[in-house]
Structure 1
Amino acid sequence: MLVLHHGSANMIDTYLRYLTFEKRYSAHTLTSYQNDLEQFQAFLQEQYQQNELSRAEFTHIRAWIVSLVDEKLQARSINRKIASLRSFYKFLLKRELIQQDPCLRIKALKTPKALPHFVQEKELSQLLDQFPFTNDFSGSRDKLVLELLYATGIRLAELIGLREESVDMKAGTIRVLGKRNKERVIPVSLAMKAVMEQYLAQKNSLFGKEANPRLILTDKGEQAYPMFVYRLVKKYLGTFTSSDKQSPHVLRHTFATHLLDKGADLNAVKDLLGHTSLAATQVYTHNSLEKLRKVFEQAHPKA
């Protein structure tokens, strides 16, 4: 492959800056891309005694994929690494740092379709309606976090990014800044408005209205961070649910599944979730179909 001479480290740094400032990828995604590229670079050095990513060829990438399969890495994880390389080499090609894309003939591995984990409606209702949340700031905040994640289906990063001004109590809506800085407006129920009002009163009384513009704060009045919210959700779901998965994203899955179980329009759920394509939303229909199948098997004489 004919290339221009640029160091791999500089290429990776330039690429990561592009993802940071132009694509606005999250820190977590940037770390994943960097790790994948450096891992492939190490493979090139070990197997072919060269570490210039710009000189990699189709056979090198294919050999790396085979080595990952031999290491018993899951197909989903390998596909993520393939996606990292594809994105990187498309960037190099666009910048004319290479003349041919070595990933052009690389195909993703087949993966089994895993259904999204979700919490049963009865279990979640018991948690939100019956758990004795304390009447102080922490209790109000914890209840609001759970209610927001389940009632709106927002992502963890979107929850943390919410500001007080994102909430329009009069209109009963919240403005959410999603992936690629796309904004969407989600309606909230009267019950949610009551939980929100109680929390805001506690927050402003404790820290002052001008202290921190972020909606969800820690006990110290600082902006909530991912692990803080993750631990909070796990604490409550672990008490009330039988689900193996107990993360904020499970509540997003639960939001979508329960809506579709109740007959919500698929396109409407897509918009509420902030998906760019219907295909991403359709995965939740499998859970609804599974529920219908169980009803049929229990009730139909010919089942």
Structure 2
Amino acid sequence: MELFFKYLQYEKRFSPHTLLSYQTDLQQFQEYLKEVYELENVNEVTHDIIRSWVVALVQKDLDSRTIHRKIASLRSYFRFQVKQGVVETNPTLRIKAPKLAKKLPAFIPEDDFTKLLDKIEFTDDLKGQREVVILELLYGTGMRLAELTGIQLSDVNLAAKTLKVLGKGNKERILPLNGSLQLALAKYIQLRTAAFPNNNSTFLLVTDKGAPLYPKFVYRVVKKYISMVSTSAKNSPHVLRHSFATHLLNRGADLGAIKDLLGHASLAATQVYTHNSIEKLKAVFEKAHPKA
């Protein structure tokens, strides 16, 4: 199993977050084998054992997406074991996952987020401007949380109005900076340099002590400000990514361009945002068309 995780990390280049999910899923499956079947070796499992595990997950009322991910983790593991010649066949091949409930991406209405950035007064010190940059980067570029915390100072090109980010699978992409984001970054970098003149950290976003920013820090900032303009229970950094894509699509942006900005591997992943736009089109039609 250790060899499998090294394969995911170094060959497949999975993110630390995804790698941890796979490790957790396989560890839980191992525990299930020991507890229910008194099996120590994962490679001894059969199709029926895996099917019973899936049934047990469903009975726990786990979210269907979580169950899909756990099955995918196991399927990937056994595919690797077949490739290595450890097992002859993949026992997950005939496993059917429960149907996924269709969920539209949660997003903040455009007017609400504009109100947040325009009307809330952020302090002019490092703390206040860091919060501005966090919100502006997430909403202004649609980047992921891991991409945000990984930005290096050298990745920012204010003269060219661009920003380089390292996405999933270590794929780099260049993102454009809008005017307000460019100004926010320039102001923050100036304050950061003045506050930590001898800091050797290469990361753009740092804590009050000059250490690289961590995910929970970003979560707290985003939750604090989204709750000011939205009553939605969903207020994670990813909601700003969804809002970025939905607002672009609502304003007529090309789906292929949005795909490239988000760093999606395929257009299928981006097409989920069209559902939100279609709902908006229906509302406009029903309000404006004489036959509606």
Q: 1:189 aligns with which of 174, 178, 181?
A: 178
Q: TM-score, normalised by structure 1?
A: 0.93
Aligned to 1:152: 141
Who is 1:7 aligned against? none
Which runs of 5 or more residues in structure 2 are unaligned? none
Query: Which residue of 116, 120, 123 maps to 2:105?
Result: 116
**8 Å contact kept, 2:199–2:210:** no
Distance 2:41 2:241 in 1: 41
Task: Check the 8 A contact 1:118/1:243 in 2, yes or no.
Answer: no
Q: Which consecutive residues of structure 1, in runs of 5 or more, have no partner in the other structure? A: 1-11
Return the offset for 1:215.
0.6
Give the equivalent residue in structure 1 for 2:258.
Answer: 269
Counterpart AA for 1:233: V
Supply the AA of the counterpart residue of 1:61: I
Counterparts of 1:118 and 1:166, CA distance in 2: 28
Query: 2:23 is matched with which residue: 15, 34, 41?
Result: 34
Q: Decide which of 90, 96, 99 is 1:101's aligned counterpart.
A: 90
Following superposition, which runs of at least 4 residues in structure 1 exceed 3 angstroms of deviation? none
- Give the aligned partner of residue 129 of structure 2: 140
2:84 corresponds to which letter in structure 1?
R
- Name the SS of the counterpart of 1:46 in structure 2: helix
- Displacement, 1:129? 1.1
1:200 to 169, 189, 201: 189
Measure, in 1, the Cα distance between the counterparts of 2:155 and 2:25: 36
The aligned residue for residue 6 of structure 1 is none
Code of the aligned partner of 2:168: K
The one-letter amino acid of 1:220's match is: K
SS at match of 1:235: helix
Q: Report matched runs for 1:202-217 at 5 Å.
A: 202-208=191-197, 210-217=199-206
Aligned-residue sequence identity (percent) comes to: 51
CA distance in 2, matches of 1:74, 1:247: 18
Contact 1:117 1:245 in 2 (8 A): yes
> What amino acid does structure 2 have at the position aligned with 1:180?
G
Partner of 1:18: 7
Query: 1:290 aligned to 2:279?
Result: yes
Instruction: Report if aligned partners of 2:15, 2:169 keep a CA contact under 8 Å in 1.
Output: no
Alpha-carbon offset, residue 147 of structure 1: 0.4
- Cα distance in 2 between the residues matched to 1:201 and 1:38: 46
Task: Verify: 1:241 aligned to 2:230, yes or no.
Answer: yes
Q: What SS class does the counterpart of residue 184 from structure 1 fall into?
A: strand
In 1, the alpha carbon distance for the partners of 2:29 and 2:262 equals: 34
Alpha-carbon shift at residue 26 of structure 1 (Å): 2.7
Per the TM alignment, residue 31 of structure 1 is displaced from its structure 2 partner at its CA by 2.3
**Greater displacement, 252-261 / 57-66:** 57-66
SS at match of 1:17: helix
Residue in 2 that maps onto 1:279: 268
Aligned length: 292
Q: 2 CA distance for matches of 1:71 and 1:103?
A: 21
Would the aligned equivalents of 1:150 and 1:251 in 2 still touch at CA under 8 Å? yes
- For structure 1, which segment, 168-177 or 17-26, has the greater mean C-alpha deviation from structure 2 after superposition? 17-26
SS at match of 1:218: coil
2:137 is equivalent to residue 127 of structure 1: no
Q: Deviations over 1:183-216 (max 9, x none)?
A: 1001111221111111111000111175321111
Contact persistence 1:151–1:188 (CA under 8 A): yes
Q: Give, in whole Å, the separation in 2 of the partners of 1:202 and 1:168.
A: 17
Give the Å deviation of 1:300: 2.1
CA change 1:209–1:281 in 2 (3 A) is farther
Cα 1:217–1:266, aligned 2, differ >3 Å: closer, same or farther? same
Q: Decide which moves more: 101-110 or 40-49.
A: 40-49
Q: CA deviation at 1:126?
A: 0.9
Q: Secondary structure at the match of 2:27?
A: helix
Deviates more, 1:40-49 or 1:140-149: 40-49
1:252 aligned partner: 241
Q: CA RMSD in A?
A: 1.3
Does 2:75 match 1:82? no
Question: Are residue 167 (structure 1) and residue 156 (structure 2) matched?
Answer: yes
Q: Which string of whole-angstrom CA distances, capped at 9 and with x for unpartnered residues, describes residues 130-171 of structure 1?
A: 111000011111001100100100000000000111011111
Q: Give the secondary structure class of the aligned counterpart of 1:223.
A: coil
